[in-house]
Amino acid sequence: MSANQKWVGQALERVEDPRLLTRGGHFIDDLTLPGAAHAAYLRSPHARARIRHIDFSRALQHPGVYAVITGEDVAQSTRPQRGRVPLANSPRVYAVAYEQVRYVGEPVVGIAAIDRATAEDAAELVHVEYEPLPAVVDPEQALEPDAPLVFEEIGSNILWHNTFPYGEVEAAFAHADLVVDERVTIHRYCSTPLETFGVMVQYEPAPHSFTIWGHTQQPAQDLHVVAAAFGVSPGQIRLIVPPMGGSFGNKVRPLFIIAAALLARKAGRPVKWIEDRRENLLALGHAADGIMEMSAAVKADGTVLAIKFRNIENEGAGIDFAGRHNLLMLSNIANCYRLQAISYEGYSVVTNRCPVVANRGIGKPFMCFAVERMMDAVARALNQDRAEIRFRNFIQPHEFPYDTPSGQTYDSGDYPEMLRKALALADYDSLRREQAQGRKEGRLLGIGIATAVEPGGSNLAYGMLISGPSQLLSGQGEAARVRLETDGTATVFTGGLDSGQGHATALAQIVADEIGLNVRQVRVATTFDSASHPYVMTSGVYSNKFHGHDTVAAIGAARKVREKLLRRAAAQLEANADDLELGDGRISVRGAPDKGVTIAQVASRAYWSLADEQPDGEPGLEALHYYSNPLAKRPDDKKRVRVQLGFASAAHVAVVEVDPETFEIKVLRYLVIHDCGRQINPGIVEGQVHGAVAHGIAAALFEEFVYDEDGQLLTTSFMDYLKPTAADLPAIEVDRLETPSPLTLLGTKGVGEGGAVVAPAAVASAVEDALAPLGIRIAALPIVPSRLWEVAAAGLKRYENARK
């Protein structure tokens, strides 16, 4: 435990806010360089086509145009992308389409000009001759033998396929009293950060180096991807990541950085590119759509013994996330339940849709939706209450730490108490009475329940299940440096990034406690700069990793600084370091409070007075700490791997009303009991829960990227791709349970993704419950009134995605 927990645990106001409330000024589009050009891209109108010829001569002659690049330039000047987790049989993917286009919106020609409008004018002067080819949009059709091939060089549309038998699955089915089958699908959606993707690159020819200001969530990995593309040392690239206006897993497209870098090199001046919203919806990336088939072995009392899963993940026309939604689902495949055995078969399939990216929860919202739909189906099959079936199958509080069949170690939790608390908060029994009364009056009221684990911190060794044991990238960790300044304040540098989670405030709270400072005396350098910020290859902001990695790295560095500080103070005070006390910016001798020095006095001498004897053998008062999570091991020979490393949990209750004529769905109440262990800043945590739940409700009821059968995206503005407003969402009610994790220094667990993982399942459960008088089962997302009306009008009993 920390020496002195004065600040950790307080719902402090955020240090980030005054600037954001009054002027901003640090987002990528707020930055510029003298002479900077602006980029625009001509994009593919076809889902699949051969590029026969590109004539950009008129564009190049257009006044104000500095440079034009095509796929030919990119293929000559850069190496193809291999993917973050390299594939054995990898297609060649470049930053700009080379020879073929593979999705609508793929960049075909890049133009740098004096301003954005001029670059867009010039793009209209480019003539591209395409030979349109048949496209494949549906992932099941992509698996058929005569399907068009998205990447002809790999001979099929399957990027990755594997099976994972965990435990005695067939024995469980042999002992089952009942087998319940389900097929559910999830659609394409995306959290669409309000700030779109941006990058600015300055190229220096003499040392052949690039300075990049740009968006990423994994700065070290993306820096290396760019270095590999250009065949330069990582040391020749300086990557600066300013605070981002949201990211949610989406800003992970190093190809866009590579294209801007190539334009900057060709233009001989800095180039800036800020994605517009249409480009963002077309091409930044979507959450993978998927098709899950399940079969559960169930005892007559409701005990679920085992579940078999078969999942098809639609990667679109990208390789960077191949297999990753699939494998991350192994983290929550057992969810909160004591399953004896599980089998999982996963496919990663390419189609002519936009490439997928990580979106809040990556894969886990679909797995949670699937398992929770199955639990509801089991309840229905046995005529049990939905809450009851969950109580019967929960892992019990005394069983932690609990190892699941896929190899996850659940650190702590109390799932029965969590659900009891949620039902009490919702007043479940009176809701059921209100529902029964409402049904007599023709009202369709529904109460949905979902209980779930919310995994945090991914162990990147899971990629070895895709690329084999020789993969370099593995584990999870973070790096941090803490410097005491000469005035006695502290500055913290980490490999983490700022995209709105209040990490600067949380880290200040942690470091202030470790060094005995006021929280206002600790600042965090939130603009990541590879020239000043330490990093490891897992650095960044993703996978709910902050709680047990960034925090631990910062504590490690702070403790080293504290030790140096005490040794220096001991020398100055001519006392023993063990006899010193630290607090409120001052070090004093225990029992003799008058005998002391301020931290500023000690820190000043550490930097100014180099002629002094140096207690550490060196001047300065700064420490670096690299942390690697010891739980993050390689996969074992049974394909078990701790895909994720900490397990928060939540119980959600959704109350909805469906209009019996229009099938409009209104969320009347939404309640959450969540447990992320100890909270560093409960104000920030609650906001994360609200925001994530809103994403989940929106994914379930509002948002959908709709493709037609030719692969045209029909939802390319916020008029068509519906984001919920304040008027569309309920006042989300949140309370907490707190079972501290025994596996992190502070007892913390991840919190940012959780609500988005659980809410789609709770909403689907509620709508299905509302429709019980009509007997309609919800097997697909999103749940759209017009389609629901069609299902009801046709007398159908399943709401599912129409097969193309």
Work out how close the CB of 360 gets to another protein at its nearest, in angstroms, rounded to a whole number.
10
Positions that interact with another protein (CB under 8 A): 11, 13-14, 16-25, 27, 29-30, 63, 117, 191-196, 243-246, 248, 274, 276-277, 499-502, 683-684, 686-688, 690-695, 717-719, 723, 725-729, 731-732
Between 245 and 355, CB nearer to another protein: 245
Between 111 and 561, CB nearer to another protein: 111
Work out how close the CB of 249 gets to another protein at its nearest, in angstroms, rounded to a whole number.
12
Between 394 and 528, CB nearer to another protein: 528
Between 349 and 697, CB nearer to another protein: 697
In angstroms, the CA 387 to CA 368 distance is 16
Work out how close the CB of 766 gets to another protein at its nearest, in angstroms, rounded to a whole number.
17
Between 275 and 622, CB nearer to another protein: 275
| β-bridge pairing 580-583 and 528-529 | unpaired
Between 416 and 683, CB nearer to another protein: 683
Work out how close the CB of 727 gets to another protein at its nearest, in angstroms, rounded to a whole number.
4
DSSP labels, 150-202: SSGGGSSSEEEEEEEEES-HHHHHHT-SEEEEEEEEE-------SS--EEEEE
Between 293 and 728, CB nearer to another protein: 728
Between 378 and 497, CB nearer to another protein: 497
Between 608 and 718, CB nearer to another protein: 718
Work out how close the CB of 759 gets to another protein at its nearest, in angstroms, rounded to a whole number.
10
Specify the residue for token string 């009610």.
733
In angstroms, the CA 672 to CA 406 distance is 27
- At residue 5, φ and ψ (nearest 5 deg) are -95, 85
Q: How many CA atoms lie within 13 A of 371 on its CB side?
A: 30
On whether the CB atoms of residues 393 and 358 are closer than 8 A, the answer is no
Residue 177 vs residues 14, 303, 309, 334: alpha-carbon distances, Å: 55, 10, 19, 20
Rg (CA), the chain: 27
In angstroms, the CA 298 to CA 343 distance is 15
Residues whose CB is less than 8 angstroms from the CB of residue 323 and which lie 6 or more positions away in sequence, other chains included: 85, 159, 160, 162, 313, 346, 348, 465, 466
In angstroms, the CA 790 to CA 445 distance is 20
Q: What is the 3-state secondary structure (H, E, C) of 586-646?
A: EEEECCEEEEEEEHHHHHHHHHHCCCCCCCCCCCCCEEEEEEECCCCCCCCCCCCCCCEEE
Between 93 and 357, CB nearer to another protein: 357
Work out how close the CB of 455 gets to another protein at its nearest, in angstroms, rounded to a whole number.
21
Picking from 628, 343, 613, the residue whose alpha carbon sits closest to that of residue 475 is: 628
In angstroms, the CA 316 to CA 325 distance is 13
Residue 269 vs residues 73, 118, 257, 264: alpha-carbon distances, Å: 18, 16, 15, 6
Work out how close the CB of 729 gets to another protein at its nearest, in angstroms, rounded to a whole number.
6
Work out how close the CB of 742 gets to another protein at its nearest, in angstroms, rounded to a whole number.
29
Buried b (16+ CB within 10 A) or exposed e, 532-554: ebbbbbbbbbbbbbbbbbbbbbb
Work out how close the CB of 24 gets to another protein at its nearest, in angstroms, rounded to a whole number.
5
In angstroms, the CA 324 to CA 329 distance is 8
Between 345 and 735, CB nearer to another protein: 735
Between 97 and 282, CB nearer to another protein: 282
Work out how close the CB of 298 gets to another protein at its nearest, in angstroms, rounded to a whole number.
36
- What the block records as the tokens of 728 is 């569309």
Picking from 531, 543, 457, 534, the residue whose alpha carbon sits closest to that of residue 492 is: 534
Q: What is the 3-state secondary structure (H, E, C) of 677-732?
A: ECCCCHHHHHHHHHHHHHHHHHHHHCCCCCECCCCCECCCCCCCCCCCCCCCCCCC
Picking from 738, 557, 754, 528, the residue whose alpha carbon sits closest to that of residue 650 is: 754
- What the block records as the tokens of 712 is 């045209």
Buried b (16+ CB within 10 A) or exposed e, 3-39: eeebbbeeebebbbeeeeeeeeebbbeebeeeebbbb
Between 20 and 571, CB nearer to another protein: 20
Between 615 and 683, CB nearer to another protein: 683
In angstroms, the CA 157 to CA 353 distance is 13
Work out how close the CB of 756 gets to another protein at its nearest, in angstroms, rounded to a whole number.
10
- Ramachandran sector of residue 335 (left: φ over 0; alpha: ψ -120 to 50; beta: rest): left
Between 406 and 544, CB nearer to another protein: 544
Work out how close the CB of 632 gets to another protein at its nearest, in angstroms, rounded to a whole number.
28
- At residue 690, φ and ψ (nearest 5 deg) are -55, -50
Work out how close the CB of 721 gets to another protein at its nearest, in angstroms, rounded to a whole number.
10
In angstroms, the CA 333 to CA 340 distance is 12
Work out how close the CB of 694 gets to another protein at its nearest, in angstroms, rounded to a whole number.
3
Work out how close the CB of 723 gets to another protein at its nearest, in angstroms, rounded to a whole number.
5
